Structure 1
Amino acid sequence: MSERKVLNKYYPPDFDPSKIPRMKLPKNRQYTVRLMAPFNMKCKTCGEYIYKGKKFNARKEDVENEDYLGIRIYRFYIKCTRCLQEISFKTDPRNTDYEIEAGATRNFMALKLAEEQAIREEEEAREEEASNPMKLLENRTKQSKNEIELLESLEELKDLNRRQEAVDYDSMLLAYDPTISEREREEKMQQMDDEYIKTIKFHSADKRKLVVEEEIIEEDAPAAKIPKAEVVKDVKSRSVPVVKKSIGGPTSSRKMLAGLVKVKKDEPKKEKEAVKPESSSLRLLGAYSDSETSD
C-alpha cells in the first residue's frame, strides 16, 4: 500500500522538463493570501473600526524599486467590512512593523510616534556633535559633572552603610526562636520590663520620705479594734506621729484614748475590804464587854 502523502515523485527515464509548456505571466502579478489585520485601524469612508487580528482575503504584491538591505517589501490590499472601501498597507522591515498607506488611519500610534521622535532627536544630536566641536565639549563637561554627582551620592550611601554596621542582624536572627509562641514571647518581654523597672531607683534631690507603721495594743479593751498610725520621717525634720482617724466618729476617738489611758479600778475595792473586818471586830468586842458587866 502506497503512502497517502507522497513526498518523492516518480520521474520516468525519458522525462524532459524543457518540453513542459510554460504560461506567460506578468512580472509583478498579485497573489490572493489569507492574513489578519496587523494593527487597529479606522476606515476613512464610513468610520468602521477594524480591530487587530481580524481575518481578510488580501491581495499581495511586491513593491517595485523598494527594499531594505536586500529584503523585499510587500504591499497588501484589503476591503472594509462595511463599505468595501479598499485599504492598503505595506511591510516595514526597518522597524519590524507595518505602514498604512491609504483607505484608513491607524489607531493608538502615540507610542510609535514617540519612539520615532526620540530616535530622530538622537540622530540630530549626533550630527550636531559631529559638526560642532563646542557642543561636543559642553556635552562632555555635563557628563563629567553628572559622574561626579553620582560618585558623591555613592559615598553618602557607603557612609550610611558603615553607620548601620553596628547592628548585628545575625545575632538578632539567632535570638529569635520561631518555636516560641507569641504569648510566651510577650510574657518574656513583660518580665524583662519588670526587672528593668526594679533596677531604677526613684529619688528626689531635696527630701526623702519613709512611711513606717506602728501598732498600739490595748490591754483593757480587747473588743476595740487596734488602730494604726503612720509616722512620716523627714530627713531634715523630726518624726511626727500622724494618727489616722477611722470613719466611726467620736466613739472611735474615745476607744483610742481608752487604749492609751489606763484606769486603776482595783485599789478602792481593796481598801473597802480592809475596813470591813475592823468594824465587825469592834462590834464583837463591845458585845463581849456588855456581857461581862451584866454578869
Structure 2
Amino acid sequence: MSERKVLQKYYPPDFDPSAVRRGRTGGGKQKTVRLMAPFSMRCNTCGEYIYRGKKFNARKETVNNDDYYGIPIFRFYIKCSQCSSEITFKTDPKNSDYAAEHGAQRNFEPWREKEEDKAPPSESDNEEDGEEEEEIDPMKALEKRMEEAQREMEVMDALQDIRTRNARFERVDTSAVLDAIAQNKRPIEASTESAPETHEEDEALVRKYFPKEPTTDASNSENPADEAAPSGQDSSEVPPSAASLLSEATRQQIQSLPPPASVTRPPAKRRRGPNALGIVRKT
C-alpha cells in the first residue's frame, strides 16, 4: 500500500531536476475522463434515450484547427449504454453549452428557444393569442367590444362632420362671395384715394403757421423789404408767437415759476507774471 499525505521526501545529493523527463501533452492525444452526459439525447442507432447526468467513461481530445476567439474546443467520445455505438459531442463556447456531433441527437436546444422568443411575433400569432385571452377572460372580451364600439362612434362622427361641411360648400353661391369681396375692397380703395388730399391739407397748414426763415445770399437784394413773402402766406399776416401757441394752463404755470437767481461770477485771477514772487528780474 502506497504512502499517503507524505509531507517530506528524500532527495539524494546527486539529484538533478533537469534530467527528469516530462510527460508528453500533445494536442491530438486522447485522455480517458469520467464525466456525466451534459444534455439529454437519443441514440440514432437503437433509439435509446440517455438522460442528462448519466455517467460515462469518455475519451477527451482537443479539436485541431478549430477554436472560438482563441478558446479551445474539446471533443468527447462515449458509447451508448444499450447498443454500444459510439457517440461524440463537443463543447460550444458560443452558447456556453455542448453540441451533439455524431451518433445521437439532442432532445431540445435551449438557445433556439431563446432566439424564437426574441423574434417578433407574427400577426396570426397575435390574433390567436387575443382569441385565447378572450375565451379565458370574459372581462377582457367585454372591454375589447367597448373599445371597438367607441372607435366606430368616433369614425361615424368624423364622417358626419365631413358630410355637413361638403353640403355647406355646395350651397354657397360663388357670385355672392365675389360681391362680398368687392364690397370689402371699396372702403380700402376710397381710403387710399383720400390719403393724398389729407396729406396736402396738412402740408398747407404747416406752411401757413411755420414759415421758413429767409436765407441771406449774395445774389439776393440788399433791402429785406424787396424779398417776396413765402408762398401760401399773405405779407400782411403776422406769424403767431410761441406764447400764443401755448395753452392757458401752461402759461399760468410758467408765470408762477420764480425768476432765475442772478449768477455771480468769481473774481478774475491775477496773472502770474515773472515778478509774482517779489523777485525783480532785470531785463
Shorter-chain TM-score above 0.5 = no
Q: Which structure's residues are more often strand, by fraction?
A: 1
Q: TM (normalized to structure 1)?
A: 0.36
